Copies of this chain bind each other. A is one copy, B any other.
Amino acid sequence: MEVRTILVEPKSEENIGAVARVIKNFGFSDLYLLNPPEIGKKAISVASHAYDVLSACRIVNSIEEAIENSALVAGTTSKPGISAHKHLRMPFFSPRELKRKIEGKRGILSLLVGREDRGLLNEELMRCDIVVRIPTSPEYPVMNLSHAVAVVLYELSEVETASGGQLLARVEDKERLFAHLRTFLDEIGYREHKKEKTMLMLRRILGRAELTAREVQTLRGILRKAEWKIGKGKP
């Protein structure tokens, strides 16, 4: 879904700039501001390279205008619902649960984010289809506005999350490494009765390390070099 971040009566320019930046960091672009303060140099400075998001923001005067054309309106709160008898903040969803709910859906998701001091008013929360709450410590549950937006947009982001893990070594490469290690243990005269146990330990250590193909090659290079030094291998 397209995500529209709507700040409801934000007081701080810096927060507006910081939100523009996280919107761009996570590959989104739509920023709506309901009754914002004057946007000046501070907001621009904090937005940094997200000036485009900030300058394209839409300023609106009502919740109705802000959520226009949305398929789903999610309101953020730092107060969880206390009782199932009150529907206003119950049930609430974590950002991850919200992500799961919208997966594969199309349309605009409006993310309503309230004031720095009072959050969203009850009548604003009533307009929401879903209430989202970041799981925070009861010791200090209230996050700074822009940090809360960062966490929610991080979850909702469609940015490729695949890491360097793509390059993991294939099982065949690892087996060649283990065979090489076993030969090496023989070559250095490692005690026969300890060999199997040690080989298993090496498997466990290297398995946990989730080796890349390149790392396997380099490790085998080290072994070859060592074999050559002890007069066993070819240079």
Chain B residues with CB below 8 A from A50, complex form: 140
Question: Are B159 and A136 neighbours in the complex by a CB distance under 8 Å?
Answer: yes
Interface-located stretch among A54-62, A145-153, A186-194: A145-153
Chain B residue with Cβ nearest A86? B214
Number of this chain's copies in the assembly equals 2
Interface residues of A toward B: which range?
Answer: 35 or more
Chain B CB within 8 A of A165 CB: yes
Interface residues of A (CB under 8 A from B): 18, 21-22, 24-27, 46, 48-50, 80-81, 84-85, 87, 89-94, 96-97, 133-137, 139-144, 146-147, 150-151, 154, 157, 159-161, 163-165, 167-168, 210, 212-215
Question: Are A163 and B94 neighbours in the complex by a CB distance under 8 Å?
Answer: yes
Chain B residues with CB below 8 A from A164, complex form: 80-81, 84, 89-93
Say whether, besides A84-B212, A136-B25, A163-B133, A144 and B91 are in contact (CB < 8 Å): no
Chain B residues with CB below 8 A from A142, complex form: 25, 49
Chain B residue with Cβ nearest A129? B209
Question: Are A143 and B212 neighbours in the complex by a CB distance under 8 Å?
Answer: no
Q: Give which listed residue, B137, B146, B161, B214, contacts A135 with CB less than 8 A.
A: B161
Question: Are A143 and B87 neighbours in the complex by a CB distance under 8 Å?
Answer: no
Question: Are A210 and B140 neighbours in the complex by a CB distance under 8 Å?
Answer: no
A134 smallest CB distance to B (angstroms): 7
Question: Are A24 and B165 neighbours in the complex by a CB distance under 8 Å?
Answer: no
Chain B residues with CB below 8 A from A151, complex form: 150-151, 154
Chain B residues with CB below 8 A from A91, complex form: 163-165, 167-168, 210, 212
Question: Are B144 and A21 neighbours in the complex by a CB distance under 8 Å?
Answer: yes
Instruction: Name the residue among A85, A90, A135, A168 with the largest chain B CB count within 10 angstroms.
Output: A135
Chain B residues with CB below 8 A from A81, complex form: 164
Question: Are B150 and A135 neighbours in the complex by a CB distance under 8 Å?
Answer: no
What is the bound-complex CA distance between A219 and B142, given in angstroms? 33
A-B contact pairs, 8 of them (CB 8 A): A21-B143, A85-B214, A91-B163, A91-B165, A91-B167, A135-B160, A135-B163, A154-B154
What is the bound-complex CA distance between A30 and B26, given in angstroms? 28
Question: Are A134 and B147 neighbours in the complex by a CB distance under 8 Å?
Answer: no
